[in-house]
Chains A and B, each alone.
Chain A
Amino acid sequence: MSMRLTDQFTFNRQLFLRHRVRTLLLLLAVAIGVASVILLTSLGEGARGYVDREFSALGNRILAVLPGRKETTGGGPPIYGAVPRDLTLEDANALATIPGVLAVAPIVAGTTTVAYSNRSREVITLGSTDAFFAVRRLDVGAGRVLSPRSRSEPLAVCVLGVKVKRELFGSSRALGEWVRVGDRRMRVIGVLEERGESLGLDMRDMLLIPVRTAEQLFDSPSLFRILLDIAPSADSDKIEQKILTVIRKRHDGEEDVTVISQDSMLAAFDSILVTLTLAIAAIASISLLVAGILIMNISLISVSQRRKEIGLLKAIGASSRQIKQLFIGESLLLMSMGSAAGITFAFSLILIFARLWPSFPLQPPVWAVPAALLVAFGTGLVFSIMPAKQAAALDPVLALRGLQP
């Protein structure tokens, strides 16, 4: 006698209908597990996507040259920026001649006070050129950016971040006004467009001035960084080598800089976040294990409650295999319904979240749903084996009489 799938469903449905609350609770348990796996991994994946977009929003490939070098492998880059031999504007200009380098933005960085009438504010001040705007894909919301003349002349002009503008000028017009920066007076030629943090740098609370002006202001020729925009087709490793060659030639044979590529930074972030997401997924799937144990428990109970039915089935010729199949099928059916509920719940939450915080969309990684299903069905299968065996081993005569063996 063969058993059709519909028979299986009928058998299982009877149970589900007979014990609605119990079934609902089981589904809840599975749904919680599946939903938490999907939601938590999409949190991790969302963070990864966010970082990816932050990097690629610029749409270009950036190399950063930092003064100083460290020889400990695996150590961080030299963050102090203070070295005996400065990285200078002349070095930056020399790097611009390397083929494949589209733009070079030298950066002098410092903190200084910027004041207008009786208001003042301590801000991070970047000395750079028009190339900085191109490399970082920055634009002004009003006025204009630093001109190409800023590459060589210490012009007394500045571009304000929106927050600096608001703090100093409120809602009145800033363009054309003179502000005091450190001990100098500079004319405001532009206000940056409203854009939040970019790569951890709050551009809203910054002041941009020509690089030569910054050298004078901070009385130091030393560059904090040089940013290079490289051609999409260029091989960044080769350009990195060329940068080191140029620097060596200019620094008496010393290779005293560190080159960081955006690609390698992105790769490092990626691998950290992927590991984190996997760890979170593993932790969340523990709840599926707990749900699996619960299902086994309930199956055992239902086997003992349905002894008579099982006995009857066996008496009319059902094989042990078919009985096993009935109970394993029941567990898998529960798992699939629970998973469906969990997936629906998780995705509706993700949709709601996307409505509320469009800038940080949660995106479940492609493997999240398959992995959650795999764990759910895996535990469902494993934990139904024992109850199924118990059911299959029932003696039909005793079972029909409702007696214990």
Chain B
Amino acid sequence: MNLRDSSGWIFRALWMQRTRTLLTIIGFSIGIAAMVLLSALGEGLRVFVLNEFTQFGSHIIAVNPGKTETFGIGGLLNTTRPLSLSDASAIGRLANVEEVVPVVMGNAKVKFGQRARYTDVAGVGGAADKAWKLELAQGRFLPADDLQRARALVVLGSKVKDELFAGLNPVGSFVRIGSERFRVVGVAAPKGEFLGTDLDDMVFIPAGKGMQLFNRQSLMEIDIFFNPRATSEAMADKIRRFLIDRHGFEDFTITTQDQVLATMDNILTILTFAGAGLGAISLLVGAVGITTILMITVSERTAEVGLLRALGGTTNTVRTLFLGEALVLGLIGGVCGIALVALFLLLTYLFVPGLPVALSPTIVFGALSLSMIIGLLAGGQPAASAAKMTPIDALRAE
């Protein structure tokens, strides 16, 4: 039996039982759709989060004080092993280091005239705008002062500016943060949230001033932006050796952006698989549907199978025909499922444009191959039972 004959046989068989075929395909396609949609959601979330992280580039190394890996917030706590401003400036002189941003974060009241607002205060260096991709709406960012002797200047986040100055131009005015006066040199453009922190409800002051304000001996973090020509392992290693030289031993933690991304990627990939697994339950039920229907078909067409065998069809021919039927059911179900998801995504896109959903080619092709594989698996048992029939018994069955 050549391919044209067998495909003709398969399609005629499916067409003769249109309602049955249609319902089987609908059931299976719902399963595929559930799985594809959930993977697409997971994948979308993964892409969204990774983009959030990579917007600052991937050539970043963070150094935190203390050698603790059990806790994510080690840098925020007190430490007996401080990272100092001079550590930061010294790292800045290493080869291939492009920018160094010392960071100390805190919370303080910012006051202008009668208006005041409690807000996050970031003590940073003059390069933070370039490193963190901050755009300025007015004025300029903190100047590249000597870290140890930075002037009392401040850049306001857009929300802080709106709250304190409303329509006025704040550049050149003085605000009071804690007990010191800071001159406003710029206003950052709205940037929105980054992982739950509102970057607009924040003011930026020099790190040295921040350490004074919060009475801290240590920076919370030093962010190092390095030349893409250097690999992050090599840079991390260099910085590690350099700081060990300065401190005597390794009393700090180095995290490369690559590590952070890899961890994130891992977690989110697991999440995507979990989503796909949830969807797979429906797919499993759809597969049971294909098996059931094919078993009925096989028993209904016993006579036909007998005739086919009597005319010289081998067991292989019979098996191929029924497997082919299962394959076609699975494939059409897969295509319908993907179409269903595409339609759904189109609708959500019209109503919720921001939703991060990614229907990648990988998912589409993965889903199609999966539908065919599941079709074949589901058809295996019915096809085998059809192939097992002896022609005599089969012909006699009616």
Partners in one complex: yes
Binding site for B on A (CB under 8 A): 19, 21-22, 25-26, 28-29, 32-33, 36, 40, 67-72, 75-76, 78-86, 108-113, 122-124, 182-183, 202, 205, 214, 217-220, 222, 224, 254, 256, 280, 283-284, 286-291, 293-294, 296-298, 300-301
Which stretch from B114-122, B261-269, B352-360 is at the chain A interface? Answer: B114-122
Contact of B335 with A by CB under 8 A? no
Which chain A residue lies CB-closest to B179? A84
Contact of B71 with A by CB under 8 A? yes
Residues of A within 8 A of B23 (CB): 293-294, 296-297, 300
Q: Do B78 and A283 touch (CB < 8 A)?
A: no
Which chain B residue lies CB-closest to A26? B292
User: In which size bucket is the chain B interface?
Assistant: 35 or more
Q: Do B34 and A70 touch (CB < 8 A)?
A: no
Which stretch from B6-14, B137-145, B211-219, B229-237 is at the chain A interface? Answer: B211-219
Contact of B106 with A by CB under 8 A? yes
Which chain B residue lies CB-closest to A25? B292
Which chain A residue lies CB-closest to B104? A82
17 additional contacts (CB under 8 A) given A109-B78, A124-B70, A297-B24: A25-B295, A28-B288, A68-B106, A68-B118, A70-B201, A71-B119, A75-B201, A79-B73, A84-B106, A84-B179, A110-B77, A111-B77, A113-B67, A122-B251, A218-B80, A297-B293, A301-B296
Binding site for A on B (CB under 8 A): 19-20, 23-24, 26-28, 30-31, 34, 38, 65-68, 70-71, 73-74, 76-81, 104-109, 117-120, 159, 177-179, 196-198, 201, 213-217, 220, 251, 278-279, 281-282, 284-286, 288-289, 291-293, 295-296
Q: Do B68 and A287 touch (CB < 8 A)?
A: no
CA distance A75 to B117 in the complex (A): 14
CA distance A1 to B288 in the complex (A): 39
Q: Do A123 and B68 touch (CB < 8 A)?
A: yes
CA distance A284 to B285 in the complex (A): 11
Which chain A residue lies CB-closest to B34? A286
Count of A-B contacts judged by CB separation below 8 Å: 200
CA distance A271 to B173 in the complex (A): 45
Nearest Cβ distance between residue B181 and chain A, in whole angstroms? 13
Residues of B within 8 A of A300 (CB): 19-20, 23
Residues of B within 8 A of A71 (CB): 117-119, 201
CA distance A80 to B197 in the complex (A): 12
Q: Do B65 and A82 touch (CB < 8 A)?
A: no
CA distance A72 to B107 in the complex (A): 13
Q: Do B201 and A183 touch (CB < 8 A)?
A: no
Q: Do B70 and A202 touch (CB < 8 A)?
A: yes
Residues of A within 8 A of B198 (CB): 72, 75
Residues of A within 8 A of B214 (CB): 82-84
Nearest Cβ distance between residue B149 and chain A, in whole angstroms? 20
Q: Do A287 and B217 touch (CB < 8 A)?
A: no
Q: Do A112 and B109 touch (CB < 8 A)?
A: no
Nearest Cβ distance between residue A68 and chain B, in whole angstroms? 3
Q: Do A297 and B295 touch (CB < 8 A)?
A: no
Q: Do B296 and A84 touch (CB < 8 A)?
A: no
Residues of A within 8 A of B109 (CB): 84, 254, 256
Q: Do B107 and A291 touch (CB < 8 A)?
A: no
Residues of A within 8 A of B291 (CB): 25
Q: Do A70 and B104 touch (CB < 8 A)?
A: no
Given A294-B285, A300-B19, also A70-B120 (CB < 8 A): yes
Max chain A C-beta neighbours (<10 A), residue from B19, B118, B286: B118
Nearest Cβ distance between residue A387 and chain B, in whole angstroms? 10
Max chain B C-beta neighbours (<10 A), residue from A108, A218, A293, A301: A293
CA distance A71 to B117 in the complex (A): 7
Q: Do A283 and B77 touch (CB < 8 A)?
A: no
Q: Do B68 and A218 touch (CB < 8 A)?
A: no
CA distance A50 to B333 in the complex (A): 40
Residues of A within 8 A of B213 (CB): 84
Q: Do A290 and B293 touch (CB < 8 A)?
A: no
CA distance A304 to B285 in the complex (A): 24
Residues of A within 8 A of B281 (CB): 32-33, 36, 284, 286-287
Q: Do A25 and B288 touch (CB < 8 A)?
A: yes
Q: Do B68 and A110 touch (CB < 8 A)?
A: no
Q: Do B107 and A108 touch (CB < 8 A)?
A: no
Residues of B within 8 A of A67 (CB): 107
CA distance A72 to B105 in the complex (A): 17
